[in-house]
């Protein structure tokens, strides 16, 4: 990327619009997906168990994930929408999306290895909150959300953020 491109991107960032858009989409998605799981923790527990990532004798970890992950998603979403601690919230969403996507990919490859269908025909309820989805649609969706998390982390603008309106600590 040339220096002029970088300057143009920074100018665009200074408007605060890329960050605002990223916060709204990412925050809204995380709140929606988290809220859809909260009312039925048992269903979510069953779905995340399907990944087989937690050993059977570690039910505390599995149960803890089932009850805490949806609230964590909502918490990140609320922080992003409000514009408070957005660097931490953006890093958290990026980390979560990386873990979720990796788990989905592993499970899809596992199903693919059993044969019988092409990779893009693989469809299952990933426990993401939106029901059954095709892997070839879910993974790009997650990549898009990761990109938005990058924007949140990269942006230096704090326009439209509640944090910028809070009184600063005396230096």
Using CB under 8 A, list all residues that contact another protein. Answer: 38-42, 45, 49-50, 52, 56-57, 59-60, 63-64, 66-76, 79, 85, 87-92, 95, 110, 153
Nearest Cα residue to 135 out of 152, 117, 123: 123
Strand-pairing partners, residue 123, are 134
The contacts of residue 41 (CB under 8 Å, 6+ apart) are: 66, 67, 70
As a 3-state breakdown, the chain gives helix, strand, coil percent values, each rounded to 5, of: 70, 5, 25
Distance between CA atoms of residues 57 and 49, nearest Å: 12
Q: Name the minimum Å distance from CB 50 to another protein.
A: 7
Q: Which is nearer to another protein, 105 or 153 (CB)?
A: 153
Residue with tokens 């949806």: 70
Q: Which is nearer to another protein, 71 or 102 (CB)?
A: 71
Q: Name the minimum Å distance from CB 88 to another protein.
A: 3
How far from chain centre, in Å, is Cα 96?
6
Distance between CA atoms of residues 142 and 22, nearest Å: 14
Q: Which is nearer to another protein, 64 or 140 (CB)?
A: 64
Q: Which is nearer to another protein, 102 or 140 (CB)?
A: 102
Q: Name the minimum Å distance from CB 97 to another protein.
A: 13
Q: Name the minimum Å distance from CB 70 to another protein.
A: 7
Q: Name the minimum Å distance from CB 89 to another protein.
A: 5
Q: Which is nearer to another protein, 67 or 140 (CB)?
A: 67
């Amino acid at each position: 990327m040339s220096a002029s491109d970088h300057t143009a991107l920074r100018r665009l960032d200074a408007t605060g619009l890329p960050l605002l858009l990223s916060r709204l989409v990412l925050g809204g998605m995380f709140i929606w997906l988290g809220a859809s799981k909260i009312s039925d923790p048992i269903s979510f527990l069953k779905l995340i168990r399907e990944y087989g990532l937690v050993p059977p004798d570690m039910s505390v970890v599995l149960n803890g994930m089932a009850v805490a992950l949806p609230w964590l998603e909502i918490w990140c979403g609320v922080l992003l929408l409000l514009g408070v601690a957005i660097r931490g919230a953006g890093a958290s969403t990026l980390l979560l999306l990386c873990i979720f996507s990796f788990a989905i990919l592993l499970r899809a490859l596992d199903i693919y290895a059993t044969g019988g269908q092409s990779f893009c025909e693989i469809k299952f309820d990933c426990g993401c909150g939106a029901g059954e989805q095709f892997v070839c649609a879910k993974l790009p969706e997650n990549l898009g959300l990761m990109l938005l998390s990058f924007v949140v982390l990269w942006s230096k603008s704090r326009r439209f953020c509640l944090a910028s309106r809070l009184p600063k600590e005396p230096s």
